């Protein structure tokens, strides 16, 4: 397709509807139950007003940052999402190429439909790995060690999915994996009987060689427990509104978590990022970086690697414009004063 037609992230979703199967589209776009949290993720961003300053003499802003000892070109990461071969025949290989061209960290899902070994051969930017802890703890340990051995540079443990959410819309869409779409590192869907606890996080930290982030924190007291359990970072996330409906928007939860953490470890966030101004707001409210999921899937469906690249590049360009117009020359210069009180 002609990517010049896609001027913003909403354009990608509009065009992806025409290119994806109904089942695949409903899988990506849907949320839990009545999908209130999905809507709140966007409404909360929309309600935040910016406080610009003028005549700052800022030309090209500097979007670079350092995260876990890694020097990143910008604070926009590709969030872990499953089953990329449902969206494009090249699956995660296209996503990795697209991330590389956009100078973006790609967080690979446990439910990748491409083996980790193949993804690492394709990647030119840092890879992180998202992990679901399975009942078979030895399988979990071996998967962590494989990811580390293959050069993945951080581990993101999803902690908000003790059970899958009520996904009525996904079920109505007839979700099922085609016979030729295989999850190479996960033995079937999540149906765990052994609860994940803080002791498991301590256990993982006892042997993990890379930074361990906990993904799915909304509660400030959980953020404190995460630090005490040895977590190197926190991802404020409501699972894209896909698990427990009526939990708050992540941008609303972010300041509470960031205040509790008080810069002891990096705090990242996902959920509802659709504009560069959203990235600016998240950083102003305490995030070191953001992760983007659904729009990347739609970019992948539209144009493979090139679609992924353009989604990230649009956000980065919009972030740079927002930084200029709010008088912020660097990422570290984005603080609470950017927000209109």
Mean pLDDT of the chain: 96
Q: How far apart are CA 184 and CA 112, in angstroms?
A: 7
Q: Is position 271 annotated in a ligand binding site? A: yes
Q: Is position 27 annotated in a ligand binding site? A: yes
For position 1, what pLDDT does the model report? 80
Percent of the chain predicted with pLDDT > 90: 95
Give the CATH H-level superfamily of domain 3-53+60-338: Aldolase class I (3.20.20.70)
What tens digit of pLDDT does each residue of 81-112 get? 999 999 999 999 999 999 999 999 999 999 99
- Of 74, 185, 239, 336, which is the active-site residue? 239
Q: Is position 270 annotated in a ligand binding site? A: yes
What tens digit of pLDDT does each residue of 41-54 get? 999 999 999 999 99
What tens digit of pLDDT does each residue of 276-318 get? 999 999 999 999 999 999 999 999 999 999 999 999 999 999 9
What tens digit of pLDDT does each residue of 11-40 get? 999 999 999 999 999 999 999 999 999 999
For position 246, what pLDDT does the model report? 98
Tell me the torsion sign for CA atoms 327, 324, 236, 289: negative
Q: Is position 272 annotated in a ligand binding site? A: yes
What tens digit of pLDDT does each residue of 144-163 get? 999 999 999 999 999 999 99
Question: What is residue 334's three-state secondary structure?
Answer: coil
Instruction: With CA atoms as reference, report the closest residue to 293 among 31, 38, 79, 129.
Output: 79
What tens digit of pLDDT does each residue of 67-86 get? 999 999 999 999 999 999 99
Average pLDDT over residues 107-119: 98
Please say whether the beta carbons of 81 and 341 come within 8 A.
no
Q: How far apart are CA 221 and CA 229, in angstroms?
A: 12
What tens digit of pLDDT does each residue of 158-185 get? 999 999 899 999 999 999 999 999 999 9
For position 73, what pLDDT does the model report? 98
Which residue bears the tokens 């494989």?
Answer: 146
Q: Is position 80 annotated in a ligand binding site? A: yes
For position 191, what pLDDT does the model report? 87
239 is catalytic: yes
Confidence check: pLDDT of 142 > 90: yes
**Whether this model's pTM surpasses 0.85:** yes
For position 224, what pLDDT does the model report? 98
Q: How far apart are CA 279 and CA 128, in angstroms?
A: 20
For position 187, what pLDDT does the model report? 87
Q: Is position 275 annotated in a ligand binding site? A: no
Q: How confident is the model at residue 253 (pLDDT cuts 50, 70, 90)?
A: very high
Instruction: With CA atoms as reference, report the closest residue to 3 among 220, 306, 270, 292.
Output: 306
Q: Is position 274 annotated in a ligand binding site? A: yes
Q: How confident is the model at residue 189 (pLDDT cuts 50, 70, 90)?
A: confident
Please say whether the beta carbons of 244 and 281 come within 8 A.
no
Confidence check: pLDDT of 140 > 90: yes
Domain ranges of the chain: 3-53+60-338
Average pLDDT over residues 332-339: 97
Q: Is position 167 annotated in a ligand binding site? A: yes
């Amino acid at each position: 397709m002609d990517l010049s037609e896609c001027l913003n992230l909403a354009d990608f979703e509009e065009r992806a509807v025409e290119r994806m199967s109904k089942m695949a589209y409903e899988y990506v776009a849907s949320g839990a139950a009545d999908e209130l949290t999905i809507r709140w993720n966007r409404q909360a961003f929309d309600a935040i007003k910016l406080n610009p300053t003028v005549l700052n003499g800022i030309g090209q802003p500097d979007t670079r940052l350092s995260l876990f000892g890694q020097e990143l070109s910008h604070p926009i990461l590709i969030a872990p999402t499953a089953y990329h071969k449902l969206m494009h025949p090249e699956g995660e290989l296209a996503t990795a190429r697209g991330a590389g061209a956009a100078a973006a960290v790609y967080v690979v899902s446990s439910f990748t439909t491409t083996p980790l070994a193949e993804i690492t051969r394709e990647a030119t930017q840092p890879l992180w790995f998202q992990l679901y802890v399975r009942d078979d703890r030895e399988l979990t340990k071996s998967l962590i060690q494989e990811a580390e051995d293959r050069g993945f540079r951080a581990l993101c443990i999803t902690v908000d999915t003790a059970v899958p959410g009520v996904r009525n819309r996904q079920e109505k869409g007839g979700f099922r994996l085609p016979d030729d779409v295989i999850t190479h590192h996960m033995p079937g869907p999540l149906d765990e009987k052994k609860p994940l606890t803080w002791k498991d996080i301590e256990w993982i930290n006892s042997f993990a060689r890379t930074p361990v982030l906990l993904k799915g924190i909304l509660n400030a007291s959980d953020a404190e427990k995460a630090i005490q359990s040895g977590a190197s970072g926190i991802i404020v996330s409501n699972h894209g509104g896909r698990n427990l409906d009526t939990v708050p928007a992540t941008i609303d939860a972010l300041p509470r978590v960031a205040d509790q953490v008080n810069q002891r470890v990096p705090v990242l966030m996902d959920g509802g990022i659709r504009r560069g101004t959203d990235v600016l707001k998240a950083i102003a409210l305490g995030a070191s970086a953001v992760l983007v999921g659904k729009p990347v899937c739609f970019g992948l469906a539209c144009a493979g690697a090139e679609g992924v690249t353009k989604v990230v590049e649009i956000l980065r360009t919009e972030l740079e414009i927002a930084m200029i117009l709010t008088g912020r020359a660097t990422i570290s210069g984005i603080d609470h004063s950017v927000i209109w009180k």
